[in-house]
Structure formats: structure tokens, C-alpha cells
Amino acid sequence: MKAFVVDKYKKKGALRSATMPEPQLRDDDVLVRVHATAVNVLDSKLRDGEFKLILPYRPPFILGHDVAGTVVRVGRNVRRFKAGDEVYARPGDHRIGTFAEFIAMNEADVAPKPENISMEEAASIPLVGLTAWQALVEVGKLRPGQKVFIQAGSGGVGSFAIQLAKHLGAVVATTTSAKNVDLVKSLGADLVIDYKTQDFEKVLSGYDLVLHSQDAKTLEKSLRVLKPDGLLISISGPPDPEFAREQGMNLFLKLVLRLLSHGVRKKARKLGVRFSFLFMRAQAQQLHEITSLIESGVIRPVVDKVFPFEETGDALAYVETGRAKGKVVIAVKQ
């Protein structure tokens, strides 16, 4: 099959178009013909080697964390899917590889595709949808009337999280550039801060929850907009000891992550607020919940551009500019 692979960890390294073996089907797997995939910042970070400690993929490996497509075959233990079913998913860690014509995934990670959207739109959802769900619902336990600050509201995670937070009844603040103010307001943002001309720390205070996706400087400022016992959930690091425990890491890695996050955890304690690192995981049941919200019109996909499969490298480079509104999608099956 055709695929795009990482030959070695390298910052801004080029992906190579390659012919790779079709994935092997395990007993609990579904083999999916990829119709569309999407690009995430996580893909570039993996290629750059930023997650080698916690996700040690051995090159050459196929990138890609989002998929929408059609089931081709199922393993002998699979009961929920059959050939011909339209599905979407975020493959589990260590089994990624959606920048390809086929992918095999555990059926526990796969959900039926929402019926009211296209394959390209469906491919834009899994990673950012699950990230937002796990941050706001599972970890943040966001309740009606609470105030949440969602950074980078016009980005992939932000554009989904704003819609989910509004559905949950929260008051939503976000940052974006002036040209994207109308977009984030249309998604449900109540307070929009132009990050180029305004300092969010001077505008926001007393927030219950922050969904952090930016750099370390922004993280430190974000802690200060929380109310006492407020919670900052970071999807951009640093990983913390709780994450190390959940992943069952060895003693050395636990120590490394404790040191990496020591500074921010110390600042949070001093301010009387809480810090948590979130590395989203594949989860079909949560995708079912998200499907219901999409099919009922509560949440709509936000897709910036759709690239043809042969321009996968260009799609990754475009995401790295930071200018994409919503998600960047790759049409694999024409």
C-alpha cells in the first residue's frame, strides 16, 4: 500500500512516500480502507522526536492519528463491525499510521461515522474531539455556569472545545487573531481576546478551568487567571507524575517527568490552583457520544483545507505554520 513514513527523527524532516506492507489483522481488529485522514500538531512533534521518551516509535514508521473510512475485513473476535461499515477513529498509541491507504485498529477504538457529514469532515474529528471531551468532561468535569478559558480558539482543538463547552453550559473565553473573531464567536465564544493586541492575563480572572495548548510562558500566565482551586489542563506539556503513573513508566522516566513538571507544579501550588497534563487516548465510547452531538447539530466540523494524498507533506507543513482554522484534512481515497 502507499503511505507516508518518517525515516528518522528530525525537526521539520520531510515525509517519504513509500510502498509499505498492508497491516496485519489481529483477532480484535478491523482493517479500514482510509478515505480521509487529518493532520495534527502531534504528528509534527512525533516526527521531530519530542515524544521519543513516552512514545518510542522505531523508524521507519507511518504517521497519522485520525481516520475516516470503510471496513474491509474484521478479525475473528470482532462483533460490532462488518465489511462495508463506514467508521472513524483515533487509532491507539503504538498503532498509529493513518497517512496510508489502509490501517488496522482494535475495534475498541473505532466508532460508526456520523451519518450527516462527509468522510473528510469525519476525519477532522477524532483526535481533537476526544481531546476536548477528555479535558472538559472527564478531567475538568465542566458544569453549567462555570467559566472556561480555551486557548487558540480557531485551532483544531479550540474550535471543537468551544462548541463542547457551550453545550455543557459554560461561559467561554478564548484567544485568536482579529481575522478569526467572527469564527470563534459563531462557535460559541462569549469573550474573545486578540492575542496580538491584548494580554489575556489583564482581561481574565476567576476562571474555573483553563485548557492550555500553548508554550511555557503562556502556561505560567494562565495559572494566574484561575480562581482558588481552579484547574489548568495542559495538552502541550509538561507531562506530570500522574501521567507517568497512568502509563506504567519505569522509575527513571517517572523521575524525568517529575523533574520536567516540577516548576509548573510548584507555581500552581503557590497560587492555590491545580495543574494536570492530558495526553488524550483512543476511546470509541466517547466517540459515540461525540457522534450524537454532531448528528444533532450541536457540534459542527471546522475544516480549513483538504489536501490530496500525494501532498501529505505539504499538509503537515501548512499545519506547522499555525495559521490553519480548524483542521487540515487529507483525502486519501479519491
Asked if 65 and 192 sit in the same domain, the reply is: no
The arithmetic mean of pLDDT across residues 226-253, rounded, is: 94
Confidence of residue 54 (pLDDT cuts 50, 70, 90): confident
Q: What percent of the chain has pLDDT over 70?
A: 100
Asked if 105 and 223 sit in the same domain, the reply is: no
User: Does a structural domain hold residue 134?
Assistant: yes
pLDDT at 333 over 90: no
User: Does a structural domain hold residue 292?
Assistant: no
Average model confidence (pLDDT) for the chain? 96
Phi, psi (rounded to 5 degrees) for 95: -130, 25
User: Does a structural domain hold residue 290?
Assistant: no
Asked if 113 and 136 sit in the same domain, the reply is: no
Asked if 192 and 319 sit in the same domain, the reply is: no
pLDDT at 49 over 80: yes
User: Does a structural domain hold residue 282?
Assistant: no
User: Does a structural domain hold residue 233?
Assistant: yes
Q: So what's the pLDDT on residue 164?
A: 98
Number of domains forming the structure of the chain: 2
Q: So what's the pLDDT on residue 329?
A: 98
Assess contact for 71 and 84: CB atoms under 8 A.
yes
- Render the burial of 201-217: b for 16+ CB within 10 Å, e for the rest: eeebeebbbbbbbbeee
Q: 148-180, pLDDT tens digit by residue?
A: 999 999 999 999 999 999 999 999 999 999 999
Q: Output the domain CATH number for residue 224.
A: 3.40.50.720
Q: 271-310, pLDDT tens digit by residue?
A: 999 999 999 999 999 999 999 999 999 999 999 999 999 9
Q: So what's the pLDDT on residue 169?
A: 98
Asked if 143 and 84 sit in the same domain, the reply is: no
Phi, psi (rounded to 5 degrees) for 245: -65, -45
Asked if 163 and 246 sit in the same domain, the reply is: yes
Q: What percent of the chain has pLDDT over 90?
A: 96
Q: So what's the pLDDT on residue 32?
A: 98
Asked if 273 and 172 sit in the same domain, the reply is: yes
Rounded Cα gap, residues 308 and 148, in angstroms: 36
pLDDT at 334 over 80: no
**Residues spanned by the domain of 108:** 2-124+301-331
Q: So what's the pLDDT on residue 258?
A: 94
User: Does a structural domain hold residue 185?
Assistant: yes
Pick from 7-21, 46-60, 222-236: least confident: 46-60
Q: Which helix (H) or strand (E) holds 102?
A: strand 102-106
Q: Output the domain CATH number for residue 73.
A: 3.90.180.10
User: Does a structural domain hold residue 289?
Assistant: no
User: Does a structural domain hold residue 286?
Assistant: no
Asked if 180 and 139 sit in the same domain, the reply is: yes
Longest distance between any two alpha carbons in the chain, whole Å: 58
Q: So what's the pLDDT on residue 167?
A: 98
Rounded Cα gap, residues 295 and 124, in angstroms: 15
Assess contact for 281 and 287: CB atoms under 8 A.
no
Confidence of residue 55 (pLDDT cuts 50, 70, 90): confident
Asked if 245 and 141 sit in the same domain, the reply is: yes
pLDDT at 127 over 90: yes
Asked if 184 and 89 sit in the same domain, the reply is: no
Asked if 134 and 183 sit in the same domain, the reply is: yes
